């Protein structure tokens, strides 16, 4: 009985790990597509953080992030962002990158809805 319980726990943990890796892979793909479509110049993406969640991003903060994003020289101004579900938990991932002929590493954080249907905001 003790062994079967341990196998069940290990199996559930393995499934959760695989699901988490799949979401991170999907989020990375969304960000890479966004960068490819809207970056004003070629950038060298060096790394992505783990995908995490937050509940502390308010609607007013999302609006402020979107306004600030419009003046980000890294991206064209005609980008489209997904709607933020009311009161929902957001997922986020940080992209680290370098610009051509630059040694300084920069980063941007991208926020998604929980279903990863699109980028809600970035900073």
Cα gap 20→18, rounded to integer Å: 5
Q: Looking at the chain, list the stretches that DSSP marks H as alpha helix, in order from N- to C-terminal side.
A: 2-38, 59-69
Q: How many domains does the chain have?
A: 1
Cα gap 70→76, rounded to integer Å: 8
Q: Decide: 92 and 122 in contact? Cβ < 8 Å.
A: no
Domain limits for position 43: 2-122
- For 14-52, what is each residue's pLDDT tens digit? 454 444 467 888 889 889 999 899 999 888 888 899 999
- For 91-114, what is each residue's pLDDT tens digit? 999 999 988 888 889 999 999 988
Q: What are phi and psi of 43, to 5 degrees?
A: -125, 155
The structure's pTM equals 0.79
């Amino acid at each position: 009985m003790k062994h079967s319980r341990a196998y069940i726990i290990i199996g559930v943990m393995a499934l959760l790990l695989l699901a988490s890796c799949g979401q991170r892979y999907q989020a990375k793909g969304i960000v890479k597509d966004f960068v490819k479509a809207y970056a004003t110049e070629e950038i060298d993406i060096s790394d992505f953080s783990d995908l995490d969640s937050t509940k502390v991003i308010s609607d007013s903060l999302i609006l402020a992030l979107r306004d600030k994003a419009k003046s980000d020289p890294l991206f064209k101004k005609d980008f489209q962002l997904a709607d933020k579900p009311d009161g929902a938990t957001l997922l986020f991932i940080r992209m680290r990158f370098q610009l051509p002929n630059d040694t300084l590493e920069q980063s941007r954080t991208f926020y998604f809805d929980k279903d990863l249907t699109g980028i809600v905001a970035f900073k």
